[in-house]
Amino acid sequence: MKVISGLTHIHNLSLALGFFDGIHLGHAVVIKNAVRYAKENGLQSGVILFRSHPREFFTGKKFEHIIEFNDKISMLNKMGVDYVFLLDFDTKIAKMTAADYMENIILPYLRPAAITTGFNHTFGQGGEGTPETLAKYAKDFDFRYFQIPQITAFNHTVSSTVIRNAVKDGDFELVKKLLGYYFYIKSPVIHGRKIGRTINFPTANLIYPENIVGIDIGVYYVYVNLNGNTYRGVMNYGLRPTVDKKDVVPVPEVHLLDFEGNLYGSVIKVSFVSKIRDERPFNSLEELKQQIEKDCEYAKYYPFKKGQKKKSKQPTLRAENTIVHAPDYL
């Protein structure tokens, strides 16, 4: 896959258009349709990505993403996309009408053979461009247009908004179902106060990414990926009221089950499986230790082979009354 900063003249592409935050099951259907059409017709596929969400431009506030931008690009590569075009959402693009965007960017630079979008895709100033707009351009400029309808999975609507809300609510079972993979963060292991080791539960202190959707304060069952191996773990994300009454910003710290070694300086991936309980203060470190033992017992109830991910059943996706097969990258 080639990642191109800006636009260049590469014609006859099968394009997938959208912001694709998280690349959830619905996004995957859009992208895989563009890839499929390209392969079936001897073409190449492409995706246009904005480096930042348009909402950041208009509000001046950081947007809470589901995954890091570089991980989004990696997922597109795994899905078989040939080209990714990276654009900055700036004043020039913000002022473009739908016609401007099509006639100054899409048509002259990429001259698509096909475009695939979701049912609610909008573009142009004020979101005036809609699937109906694209259907008209497809007819006038002789390219195929595919509109993917609303996707549901496990009796839930698949959308980034639903997923973000589920993350904030700690419903990681639902998040996994709609994303097709576990919600996760990546962080270097940093030095903490080392209190955990005094009660035989050493923890890795992490930094929660500021551009990723925030989780609720609490204790979580997690999978920790380190150097290609996956371990079960228990993460506390909170203010540590038993050991530090001065914390005002939640701190993520994770205890790895069945692991011994030095993690400092390592970058680990923490995938959230389920919420165990809310964070609460204890009267002593001994009480805290007893509760952590119970948390670890909770984690051990989940069958999991060290260093190997569980293969989950692929979901059946539904678009209105049509069954859509789950993307083969899941």
- The residue type of 126 is G
Q: pLDDT tens digits for 237-280?
A: 987 655 666 666 788 999 999 888 888 889 999 999 999 999 88
Helix axes 172-179, 160-169, angle to 10 degrees: 160
β-partners of residue 204 are 254
Q: pLDDT tens digits for 48-104?
A: 999 999 889 898 888 999 999 999 999 999 999 999 999 999 999 999 999 999 999
DSSP per-residue codes, 2-51: EEEES-----SEEEEES--TT--HHHHHHHHHHHHHHHHTT-EEEEEEES
Residue 217 to residue 267: CA distance in whole angstroms: 22
Predicted pLDDT of residue 212: 96
Predicted pLDDT of residue 326: 42
Beta strand 151-153 pairing with 317-319:
antiparallel
Q: How many CB atoms lie within 10 A of CB 93?
A: 19
pLDDT, mean of residues 14-26? 96
For the chain, the structural domain boundaries read 2-155+316-324, 181-300
CATH of domain 2-155+316-324: 3.40.50.620
Residue spans of beta strands (DSSP E) within the chain: 2-5, 13-17, 44-50, 83-87, 114-118, 144-148, 151-153, 156-157, 184-188, 204-205, 218-226, 229-238, 251-256, 267-277, 317-319, 322-324
Residue 143 to residue 209: CA distance in whole angstroms: 41
Predicted pLDDT of residue 308: 45
Q: pLDDT tens digits for 297-319?
A: 888 876 554 444 444 455 555 55
From residue 283, alpha-carbon distances to 107, 220, 243, 289, 295 in Å are 66, 21, 10, 11, 17
Q: CATH second-level architecture of 181-300?
A: Beta Barrel (2.40)
The span from the first CA to the last CA of the chain, in angstroms, equals 19
